[in-house]
Amino acid sequence: MHAIPYRTKRDVAADLLREAIIVGELAPGARLVLEELSQRFELSMTPIREAFSVLEGEGLIVQVAHRGAVVATPDREELLELYAIRAAIEELAARHGVPRLADSDIAELKRLLGELVAYRGARDPFLDIDKQFHRVIYRAAGSRRWLETIESFWQRSRRYMLASTAVDGAVESLHADHQEILAACRARDAERAAAAVRAHLKRSELRLLEQWGE
């Protein structure tokens, strides 16, 4: 069994705020008032204030002069740019990584997919398991720089990745995508895996654009 990581009050506050923003309970442009959030989440204002810096780093909130913290408005152009870059480099890493996967890597992918399918809870830990799944494949490509670049774009895309999982039907679609990626990896079919990764990212992008009325 995995040990349950220790979570500070700041972590708890960040999780609650993040979830409220992702599901739309705190709408884009909404002002985040410490006193109101403290009552809502039954936490003191200090960990909530500390959580603001975490969520600002994820692009979920912004600090505005004379207004304080507000929920960030999704940026369509940023979304399109980030997903175009991610598709290019993650497809490349999959193409090079899949032929190098060991049997132990395939077993790890199967285990992580099982965790994803069985998982019930907040979206943040779900996303972490999702990233572990992809990391197994990309790490096998053997390029530390590629992996570091992918990780940096994951961080910059985090708000969009989280929002994508909140769309109706998204989780089922994600599971189907991961099943296809795993099947391609088992077959050591690099081109099939690369195509599956690209399609996986494109579906996430389209879910968000549809959600925003595009």
pLDDT tens-digit readout, 49-102? 999 998 988 788 998 887 889 998 888 898 999 999 999 999 999 999 999 999
User: Helix, strand, or coil here: 63?
Assistant: strand
| Answer CATH for 9-71 from 3.40.309.10, 1.10.10.10, 3.40.605.10, 1.10.3720.10 | 1.10.10.10
pLDDT score at 2: 46
The percentage of residues in the chain with a pLDDT greater than 70, rounded to a whole number, is 96
Is the entire prediction scored with pTM above 0.95?
Answer: no
Q: What is the DSSP letter of 6?
A: P
The tens digit of pLDDT for each residue in 121-130 reads 878 889 999 9
DSSP letter for each residue of 73-116:
PP-HHHHHHHHHHHHHHHHHHHHHHGGG--HHHHHHHHHHHHHH
Higher pLDDT, 40 or 166: 40
Domain 76-211 has CATH 1.20.1600.10: no
pLDDT band for position 163 (cuts 50, 70, 90) = confident
All structural domains of the chain with their residue ranges: 9-71, 76-211
pLDDT at 1: 43
Residue 68 host element (H or E): strand 68-71
* Residue 157 confidence (pLDDT): 87
The pLDDT score that the predictor gives to residue 113 is: 98
pLDDT at position 158, please? 84
Instruction: Please give the average per-residue pLDDT across 157-181, as a whole number.
Output: 91
